[in-house]
């Protein structure tokens, strides 16, 4: 079963079990996935006008990697909200956003540890022969596809920057 199907099934379970927060988070997530599919369908209809409606429908379904991107984007929104609510000293909202983030994180693949990211970053730096901070763009372009969905981009960037600064 694909990731979207799993989320839909878990939404039904959450509704049955009256888990309000989880069902609300999963509804928002499915809405974001649906919007991404609409966007993809629109682009396809412009690129391939010969496609019939059924073909468009099938082709615009998101694959698991694309669903993971949507989930990561939703998690990033929660992290930004948490930071802002902490500055505003709104502990009630920090707690709510944190719980939402935790629910979403369950749908991501297992996250890489800092050590694993460092190892991948070192390998990438050696592979492309990066020597200084100005090579950061090349390093990130090579490294990000390897960690996509399994590590926070900000953390990957920080680690790569530290390694290049040495």
Residues 7 and 45 in one domain: yes
Residues 33 and 80 in one domain: yes
Say which CATH number the domain at 99 has. 1.10.1510.10
Number of domains in the chain: 2
- Give the span between the Cα atoms of 104 and 153, in whole angstroms: 17
Domain boundary among 105, 123, 138: 105
Residues 87 and 17 in one domain: yes
Lookup result for tokens 């615009």? 60
- Give the span between the Cα atoms of 153 and 166, in whole angstroms: 20
Residues 96 and 130 in one domain: no
pTM of full prediction above 0.85: no
Residues 73 and 140 in one domain: no
Residues 74 and 18 in one domain: yes
Domain containing 155 equals 114-165
* Burial classification of residue 99, based on how many CB atoms lie within 10 Å of its CB (0-12 exposed, 13-18 middle, 19 or more buried): middle
pLDDT over 70, % of the chain:
99
Residues 61 and 12 in one domain: yes
3-state secondary structure of 2: coil
The pLDDT tens digits for 1-43 are 688 999 999 999 999 999 999 999 999 999 999 999 999 888 8
The pLDDT tens digits for 55-94 are 777 788 888 888 988 998 999 999 999 999 999 999 999 9
Kindly report the number of other CB atoms within 10 A of residue 130's CB atom.
20
For residue 159, what pLDDT is reported?
87
Residues 126 and 101 in one domain: no
Residues 99 and 151 in one domain: no
Residues 125 and 97 in one domain: no
Residues 60 and 16 in one domain: yes
3-state secondary structure of 105: helix
Say which CATH number the domain at 125 has. 1.10.10.410
């Amino acid at each position: 079963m694909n990731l979207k199907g799993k989320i839909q099934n878990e939404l039904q379970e959450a509704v049955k079990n009256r888990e309000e927060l989880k069902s609300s988070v999963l509804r928002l997530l499915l809405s974001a996935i649906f919007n991404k599919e609409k966007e993809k369908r629109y682009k396809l209809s412009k690129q391939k006008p010969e496609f019939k409606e059924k073909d468009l429908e099938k082709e615009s379904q998101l694959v698991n990697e694309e669903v993971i991107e949507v989930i990561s984007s939703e998690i990033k929104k929660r992290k930004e909200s948490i930071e802002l609510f902490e500055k505003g000293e709104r502990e009630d909202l920090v707690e709510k956003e944190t719980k939402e983030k935790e629910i979403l994180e369950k749908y991501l693949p297992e996250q890489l540890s800092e050590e694993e990211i460092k190892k991948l970053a070192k390998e990438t730096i050696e592979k492309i022969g990066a020597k200084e901070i100005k090579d950061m763009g090349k390093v990130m372009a090579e490294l990000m596809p390897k960690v996509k969905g399994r590590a926070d981009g900000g953390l990957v960037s920080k680690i790569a920057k530290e390694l290049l600064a040495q």
